[in-house]
């Protein structure tokens, strides 16, 4: 349990966000049909790394709930993984799947997200699996090869 939760999880935070028009159409107006443009490879990296940094802060804040942040108890660690890590990564996956990534990058991003989902399923059964070096290793490798600077880094 010597690994800090934030350090372990920082390597797996992969996320991007998109934006849209959330305002309802006024009476008598046709709803806007805003089409989100496809992002460039660099835009995907920029947005993803910004979200990963913000997510890392949220996950790191979970350390504040530990009696001893450098040595969380097993119970504290399990709660942090279940209550913070899994929901954060689930939200990230949802946001990323909604993005319009370049067609040439779609298979890479999908593979990365599928790898995260597989490891999340393992964490749901055993939160202590986060301590294993293999957890999120495949997703981290894909993220690093794609060019992320924050996402996929330990």
Mean pLDDT within 1-9:
45
Q: How far apart are CA 102 and CA 109, in angstroms?
A: 10
As a whole number of angstroms, the distance between CA 24 and CA 31 comes to 7
Predicted pLDDT of residue 33:
64
Output 104 or 18, whichever has higher pLDDT.
104
Residue 121 token pair? 């399923």
Give yes or no for a contact between 140 and 111, defined as CB atoms under 8 angstroms apart: no
Cβ 72 vs Cβ 65: under 8 Å = no
Residue 135 burial (CB < 10 Å; 0-12/13-18/19+)?
buried
pLDDT value at position 142? 96
Question: What pLDDT is stored for residue 143 in this prediction?
Answer: 94
Confidence of residue 154 (pLDDT cuts 50, 70, 90): low
Please report, for the chain, how many H helices and E strands are present, in that order: 6, 0
Q: Would you call 153 helix, strand, or coil by DSSP? A: coil
Average pLDDT of the segment spanning 64-88 = 86
- Segment 116-132 mean pLDDT: 95
- pLDDT class for 69, splitting at 50, 70, 90? confident
- Band of residue 8 on the pLDDT scale cut at 50, 70, 90: very low
User: What's the pLDDT score for residue 95?
Assistant: 78
Copy the structure tokens of residue 144: 């690093």
Query: Average per-residue pLDDT in the chain?
Result: 79
Residues 6+ apart with CB under 8 A from 138: 115, 119
């Amino acid at each position: 349990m010597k690994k800090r939760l934030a350090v372990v999880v920082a390597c797996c935070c992969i996320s991007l966000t998109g934006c849209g028009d959330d305002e309802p159409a006024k009476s008598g107006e046709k709803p806007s049909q805003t089409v989100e443009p496809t992002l460039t490879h660099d835009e995907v990296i920029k947005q993803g790394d910004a979200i990963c940094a913000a997510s890392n802060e949220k996950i790191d804040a979970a350390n504040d709930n530990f009696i001893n942040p450098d040595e969380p108890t097993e119970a504290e660690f399990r709660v942090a993984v279940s209550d913070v890590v899994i929901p954060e990564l689930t939200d990230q996956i949802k946001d990323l799947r909604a993005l319009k990534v370049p067609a040439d990058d779609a298979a890479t991003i999908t593979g990365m997200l599928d790898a995260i989902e597989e490891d999340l399923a393992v964490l749901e059964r055993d939160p202590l699996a986060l301590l294993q070096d293999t957890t999120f290793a495949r997703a981290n490798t894909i993220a690093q090869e794609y060019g992320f600077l924050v996402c996929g880094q330990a």
